[in-house]
Amino acid sequence: MASVGSAVAQESGADLAKKLSNPIASLISVPFQFNYDRGYGPEDGNREVLNIQPVIPISLNEDWNIISRTIMPVISQNDIAGQSGHQFGLGDITQSLFVSPSTW
């Protein structure tokens, strides 16, 4: 019994890995990207940017999907424009929509 459960778990893990490598698979993913920059401006300011990038497939019908991809930068920076202190907020949000065939 234990070996049967293990085989099923391995198969579903392999299926998930296959879906994760397919850019048009019907999976919601929320990747994060972190960037750190230093040495900006005359005061050697620094900036941290966390990009939150959800990818959400939306089924139109049996044959087609719309894939929504949003990029939302959360920014923290210090002394970028001289001794300007600390700023924190959202950057420009980018929304992309793609039409793709449904996976089978």
The domain spans of the chain are 27-101
Q: How confident is the model at residue 31 (pLDDT cuts 50, 70, 90)?
A: very high
pLDDT at 76 over 50: yes
pTM of the full predicted structure? Answer: 0.72
Measured between alpha carbons, how far is 44 from 58 in angstroms, rounded to an integer?
A: 44
Measured between alpha carbons, how far is 53 from 92 in angstroms, rounded to an integer?
A: 13
